[in-house]
């Protein structure tokens, strides 16, 4: 069976429609490809995620006019848990109890177009803006744990000024080029035209393409970073995480074997190493969320308009 016949019928029809539109208007065709690339599918929440959500405190955040669903567990310095493409915040359910037991509050949310949040379109820049909105809502954070494309969103937010003292990136992509380029190739766009398509996409985002490449941002970022990546990851290759570590001034790499791209989030050793990394140098300047006073997490989240400086 050749490659063409192996493509699903729906995608072959989509490709045909794209090529017809491209012949009439290359710009409109690229806009269609960009929209396709930025439209995630929503997936069912399995029971372990639902169980975690039932134990959490639900709240909502507004970002770019969209209502995003968030949850918090525990008390203490806040650690944000950022999921990847077509994921959900509760995919970090294995991290919650260890973080809480270590004295942190764990905070997750569903990115725009994902899970229980509003929106249809998504992408690293949109995700960075959502991270900024959440930090603005809950106040200073101690660190971030981000999976896959969530790491790109976190890095962009950090580059834009978000204060993230410590970061753990799990299976991070060094750049979006191979993913968007793969879609363009599947739609029939010659590889020699990909760089121009990347720049056209970036122009519509309002940022240079280099500013959505995590590897390009890495030399500009100084927060201590732990990258955890599985050598057998078939979705985001291990070399991607290694490239980020090579470019990031204060980063080191921990490699795993046999965990792939998603099971790595449920591995006890990965969770333990992440929590240990985040536990170093807990800042006294970030007061813990506890008790009944102004730093109680519930008060901080739900009465932000009454908070004093």
Q: In this structure, are 255 and 151 located in the same domain? A: yes
What pLDDT, in 10s, does the model give residues 66-89? Answer: 999 999 999 999 999 999 999 999
Asked if residues 282 and 77 have their Cβ atoms less than 8 Å apart, the reply is yes
Domain around 119: 48-175+213-283+294-303
Tokens of 5: 């016949």
Looking at per-residue pLDDT, the higher value among 291 and 233 belongs to 233
Tokens of 152: 């790109």
Q: In this structure, are 53 and 142 located in the same domain? A: yes
Number of folded domains that form the chain? 2
Mean pLDDT throughout 287-297?
41
Q: In this structure, are 28 and 56 located in the same domain? A: no
pLDDT at position 189, please? 95
Q: In this structure, are 224 and 265 located in the same domain? A: yes
Asked if residues 264 and 270 have their Cβ atoms less than 8 Å apart, the reply is yes
Q: What is the DSSP letter of 155?
A: H
What pLDDT, in 10s, does the model give residues 192-226? Answer: 999 999 999 999 888 899 989 999 999 999 999 99
Q: In this structure, are 98 and 196 located in the same domain? A: no
pLDDT at position 10, please? 78
Cα torsion at 227, 229, 235, 240 (round to 10°)? 60
Q: In this structure, are 31 and 102 located in the same domain? A: no
Mean pLDDT throughout 18-47?
92
What pLDDT, in 10s, does the model give residues 154-197? Answer: 999 999 999 999 999 999 999 999 999 999 999 999 999 999 99
Q: In this structure, are 123 and 238 located in the same domain? A: yes
What pLDDT, in 10s, does the model give residues 223-272? Answer: 999 999 999 999 999 999 999 999 999 999 999 999 999 999 999 999 99
Q: Is residue 309 part of a domain?
A: no
Tokens of 255: 């490699």
* pLDDT beyond 80 at 150: yes
Q: Is residue 264 part of a domain?
A: yes
What pLDDT, in 10s, does the model give residues 99-139? Answer: 999 999 999 999 999 989 999 989 888 989 999 999 999 99
Q: In this structure, are 148 and 242 located in the same domain? A: yes
Closest among 148, 145, 127, 170 to 38, alpha carbons compared: 127
Asked if residues 128 and 186 have their Cβ atoms less than 8 Å apart, the reply is no
Q: Is residue 188 part of a domain?
A: yes
pLDDT at position 292, please? 38
125, HSE (Cβ side, Cα atoms, 13 Å): 16
Q: In this structure, are 136 and 4 located in the same domain? A: no
Q: In this structure, are 188 and 248 located in the same domain? A: no
CATH number at residue 235: 3.40.50.1820
């Amino acid at each position: 069976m050749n490659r063409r016949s192996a493509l699903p019928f729906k995608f072959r029809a989509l490709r045909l429609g794209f090529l017809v539109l491209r012949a009439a208007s290359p710009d409109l065709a690229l806009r269609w490809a960009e929209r396709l690339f930025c439209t995630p599918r929503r997936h069912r929440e399995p029971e372990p995620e639902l169980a975690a959500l039932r134990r959490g405190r639900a709240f909502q955040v507004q970002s770019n006019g969209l209502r995003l669903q968030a949850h918090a567990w525990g008390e203490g310095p806040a650690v944000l848990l950022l999921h990847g493409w077509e994921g959900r915040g509760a995919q970090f359910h294995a991290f919650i109890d260890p973080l809480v037991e270590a004295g942190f509050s764990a905070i997750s949310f569903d990115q725009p177009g994902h899970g229980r949040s509003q929106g249809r379109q998504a992408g690293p820049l949109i995700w960075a803006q959502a991270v900024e909105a959440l930090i603005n809502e809950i106040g200073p954070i101690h660190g971030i744990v981000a999976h896959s494309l969530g790491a790109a969103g976190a890095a962009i937010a950090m580059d834009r000024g978000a204060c993230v003292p410590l970061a753990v990136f799990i299976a991070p992509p060094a750049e979006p080029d191979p993913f968007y380029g793969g879609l363009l190739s599947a739609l029939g766009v010659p590889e020699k035209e990909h760089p121009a398509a990347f720049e056209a996409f970036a122009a519509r985002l309002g940022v240079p393409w280099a500013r959505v490449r995590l590897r390009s941002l890495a030399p500009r970022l100084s927060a201590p970073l732990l990258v955890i990546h599985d050598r057998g990851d078939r979705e985001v290759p291990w070399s991607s995480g290694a490239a980020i570590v090579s470019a990031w001034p204060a980063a080191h790499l921990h490699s795993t074997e046999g965990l792939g791209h998603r099971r790595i989030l449920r591995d006890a050793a990965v969770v333990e190493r992440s929590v240990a990394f985040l536990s170093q140098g807990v800042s006294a300047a970030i007061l813990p969320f506890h008790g009944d006073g102004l730093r109680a997490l519930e008060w901080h989240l739900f009465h932000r308009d009454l908070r004093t400086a």
